[in-house]
Amino acid sequence: MECITLALAKGRTAKGAIAILKRAGFHFADFHEKSRKLVFYDTKKQIKLIFVKAVDVPTYVDKGAADIGIAGKDNIMEAQVDLYELLDLKLGKCKFAVAGLPDQKIDHTTVLTVASKYPNVAEHYFEQKGITVDTIKLNGSVELAPLIGMADVIVDIVETGNTINENGLTIIEDMEPISTRLIVNKASFATKTKEIQQIIKKLESVLE
Ligand code: PRP
Ligand code: MG
């Protein structure tokens, strides 16, 4: 069997993903959270795991540098790449939402300024609603933008709602549920069908 390269997102969901892989029979014995290593093999050498920035996982898979990937739906949507999304690992559950100050209105009469770590997601969402937006790309602390008058609203991830609440913002619209997904490069799926199907089957059996 050919070894499959899996790009795994660093960060909050990595430990959970490694645990699911272990239950599915893929044990990465030398993986531990504090390791600085970026490449790992499972004990049976079926999977070569590369540990990459969450936002880059869809790119590795899209370019075929990884056959499959485990990444958040947020980063998959933002990357706008053409791949198969075949499993929901149900880790890191949260949602995309539009948030702003409590009196903020969203209508078609003005151009709305939207700050987000996810400008493509934000643009696409408002475009579908026929609302013209100016997007400002930020890399974090997005909740600040409406408070200091830099943007009318934000598009960001909401998990507990604490960040929004503690900054006096409110959810204006819920957009889309987010969780960790298994993605597959289309060419890899055609050429390494058997290997990838087997990994998916094993993962499915422990996710049920
Ligand atoms: C994320 C996200 C929200 C917050 C949501 O920010 O961008 O701000 O977590 O979680 P909550 O609803 O439970 O508060 P993160 O902590 O990653 O910081 P950053 O945006 O500054 O990178
Ligand atoms: Mg944040």
The pLDDT tens digits of the residues spanning 2-12 come to 999 999 999 99
Type of residue at 97: A
Given CATH 3.30.70.260, say whether it is the number of domain 94-177. no
* Helix or strand holding residue 208 (H, E): none
pLDDT of 34? 83
Please state the atom number of ligand 1 nearest to the C-alpha of residue 163: 14
Spatial separation of the C-alpha atoms in residues 143 and 74, rounded to whole Å: 17
What secondary structure letter does DSSP report for 193?
H
The pLDDT tens digits of the residues spanning 125-166 come to 999 999 999 999 999 999 999 999 999 999 999 999 999 999
Residue with CA closest to ligand 1 atom 3: 157
Instruction: Identify whether the C-beta of residue 116 lies closer than 8 Å to the C-beta of residue 154.
Output: yes
Structure-block tokens of residue 155: 């598009």
* One fold for 4-92+179-207 and 94-177: yes
Provide the angle, in degrees to the nearest 10, between the axes of the packed helices 14-23 and 193-207: 100
- Domain locations in the chain? 4-92+179-207, 94-177
What secondary structure letter does DSSP report for 158?
E
What does residue 24 show for φ and ψ, rounded to 5 degrees? -80, 0
Type of residue at 132: T
C-alpha 120 to ligand 2 mean position (Å): 17
Residue with CA closest to ligand 1 atom 2: 157
Q: Which residue(s) pair with 68 in the sheet?
A: 6, 184
Residue with CA closest to ligand 1 atom 1: 157
Query: Count of CB atoms within 10 A of residue 140's CB?
Result: 8
Q: Give the pLDDT band (50/70/90) at residue 208.
A: confident
Query: Count of CB atoms within 10 A of residue 208's CB?
Result: 4
pLDDT of 141? 98
Mean pLDDT of the chain: 96
Strand 112-116 versus strand 133-137 pairing type: parallel
Please state the atom number of ligand 1 nearest to the C-alpha of residue 143: 8
**pTM for the complete prediction?**
0.95
Please state the atom number of ligand 1 nearest to the C-alpha of residue 139: 22
Task: Give 56's contacts (C-beta < 8 A, 6+ positions apart).
Answer: 7
* CATH fold of the domain at 4-92+179-207: D-Maltodextrin-Binding Protein; domain 2 (3.40.190)
Q: Which three-class secondary structure state does DSSP give residue 127?
A: helix
